[in-house]
Amino acid sequence: MKQTSFNIKHYSFLLVCTLTMMVVLSAFLWLSPKSELIKDDFTVAEKQYSELLKTSTDLTRFPRTINQDRSLKSTDIKDWTQGFFAGNLWYIYEYTKNPEWKTAATKWTEALEQAQFLTQHHDIGFVMYCSYGNAMKFEKDPKKLEQYRKILIQSAESALTRFDPKVGLIKSWNEKKSWDKKTTWKYPVIIDNMMNLELLCYVSKITGNPKYKNAAISHALNTMKNHFRPDFSTYHVVDYSANGKVLHRQTNQGYADNSTWSRGQGWAIYGFTMMYRETKDKRFLEAAQKAADFYLNNPNLPKDKIPNWDFNEGQKGYTPDWDYEARKLSYIPRDASAGALVASALIELSTFSKDSKKYFKPAEQMLQSLSDSTYLAKPGSNSGFILKHCVGSYPHNSEIDVPLIYADYYFMEALLRYQKIKE
């Protein structure tokens, strides 16, 4: 009897000790440097976006970047970046669960209602999925959910107006001249267009109608065939004939036709990772991994893994068709928007790849770099944006070394993905 009572006490003591250790360990893990980084970054995000909400009062003007005098530069509803502001508010809400952010996110999402009819370019996926797509995750009101659902279906219909089955791809832009002034693109498709496919996959899921996803798969397969070079770097623009023959491979936002525009490479990594998630087609996973390997193994990738705006600026063998000498700076600007989007893509890719660490570790390093004061704004500065040092389009002499709304979007998305993995 005596022995039994000793054992019970003994085991109870051990149980209490184990439970205490588990609580201490969980607290330690929660307060680990990783969580601290996410928490600190979202503290900055909250401060910065409170500021942006104060300066953005016109619901027809959507924050995008800054002017030369550092005042806020916004766009109208017809551009490609107007969905990111709402998306960013949804991400801050996702992290904080503070209903005030949901109110703001809902207001800025609903300000985009008319964009469901955008057909003059391919960017409707960016615009509507980053805003309404995120709203669908957090809205509880059935009436609103039904309204958002209809808007997303119409948005996918609008996207399909630019899909010609004879070509098998969504046309990115209407007829446009290339930098060489000799070439007119009739059916240009840019690597960025991979990002519009998520909307199509989503709408097939909510309607049960496969036509949207089938178009997305056709687009991704043709992009995989025609946009990659043998080393899995990417062309920015591929122009097609009316029956789907490749006519031109050039650039619009990169340094030269044969160079690798960093954000374009990022869109490829992200887009093919996402298409693998949606289809489980191994060819997409392989494309995503090879595009990521090109980025990560590139000798021109700086140590902090945030790329120069183009992997090949000023290098021998690369000749721009735009007036580079007139725009040349004394340094090669980085593009934190490319870094943020690649970090987000690599975190997701690490969950699919057999070689998980190969993609997760660099993503972690990129998040650390972006969380350093080199890139992360000091609260109260940077006109309310979170990240500094991005490039919109160097050849157009536009948005060079500035904050960009979509850099903030992919940065917060990456942090949230990072947090989910950690948990």
For residue 420, give both structure tokens: 């989910």
Min dist. Cβ of residue 192 to ligand GLY (A): 4
Task: Give whole-number Cα distances, 287 to 234, 268, 356, 364, 384, in Å.
Answer: 11, 8, 16, 22, 36
Return the number of the residue (42 or 255) whose C-beta is nearest ligand GLY.
Answer: 255
Known catalytic residues?
123, 192
Which residue minimizes CB distance to ligand GLY? 192
Return the number of the residue (52 or 237) whose C-beta is nearest ligand GLY.
Answer: 237
Please give the Cα distance from 55 to 237 (Å, whole number): 36
Min dist. Cβ of residue 266 to ligand GLY (A): 8
Min dist. Cβ of residue 267 to ligand GLY (A): 7
- Block residue for tokens 């969580």: 35
Min dist. Cβ of residue 35 to ligand GLY (A): 31
Return the number of the residue (192 or 348) whose C-beta is nearest ligand GLY.
Answer: 192
Binding mask 124-153 for ligand GLY (x = CB under 6 A): ------------------------------
Which residues lie closer than 8 Å to 16 by C-beta, 6 or more apart?
none
Does position 84 interact with ligand GLY (CB under 6 A)? The reply is no
Segment 234 to 263, residues that bind ligand GLY, using CB under 6 A: 253, 263
**Binding residue count for ligand GLY, defined by CB under 6 A:** 4
Min dist. Cβ of residue 171 to ligand GLY (A): 14
Q: Half-sphere exposure of 100 toward its Cβ, with a 13 Å CA cutoff?
A: 5
Return the number of the residue (151 or 237) whose C-beta is nearest ligand GLY.
Answer: 237
Among 51, 94, 139, 192, binds ligand GLY (CB under 6 A): 192
Binding mask 26-65 for ligand GLY (x = CB under 6 A): ----------------------------------------
* Interface contacts to ligand GLY, rule CB under 6 A: 80, 192, 253, 263
